[in-house]
Amino acid sequence: MSLFKRTSPSVYLFIFAIIVLAPPSLNLFASSWDFSRHSIPVDEIQSGGPPRDGIPALFDPKFVAADKADFMRDDEMILGVFHNGIARAFPTRIMSWHELVNLNFGDTPVLVSW
């Protein structure tokens, strides 16, 4: 009970504000996106759990030459891309934490997705 006594009124006000001012989750979710145009039924779009950018995409990440890549195991799975004469491997155990990589292969801006 001492916890209640020590809680300042501003904390209650804060909790009240969260409860009253937070819109229902569906509105919260719709407000970040523009659904004025769509080709799929919007009510069939579900939340996958994490919020927008909760899984952070990568932008122009670093690469390591194969002979210096001592963090790699021979039997592990990679997503392989060969484009504009450049070969790059994306370990799936890294891709699963980011899902998207924005980068360039020479002059071509590309998106690698997992």
Q: Could you report how far apart the first and last alpha carbons of the chain are, in Å?
A: 51
Task: Give phi and psi for 111, each to the nearest 5.
Answer: -125, 120
CB of 97 to other proteins, least distance (A): 4
Among 19, 95, 35, smallest CA distance to 61 is for 95
Q: Which of 13, 16, 82, 106 binds other proteins (CB under 8 A)?
A: 82
CB of 26 to other proteins, least distance (A): 12
Candidates 7-15, 18-26, 58-66; binding stretch for other proteins (CB under 8 A): 58-66
30 contacts other proteins (rule: CB under 8 A): no
Task: Give phi and psi for 87, each to the nearest 5.
Answer: -105, 130
Residue number, 22 or 72, with CB nearest to other proteins = 72
Quote the CA–CA distance of 53 and 106 in Å, as a whole number: 27
Residue number, 15 or 86, with CB nearest to other proteins = 86
109 contacts other proteins (rule: CB under 8 A): yes
User: Could you tell me if 107 and 84 are in contact, meaning their C-beta atoms sit under 8 angstroms apart?
Assistant: yes
Give 29's contacts (C-beta < 8 A, 6+ positions apart).
47
63 contacts other proteins (rule: CB under 8 A): yes
Instruction: Kindly list the residues in this chain that would bind other proteins in the complex (CB under 8 A).
Output: 29, 32-40, 42, 44-59, 61-66, 69, 71-83, 86-102, 108-113
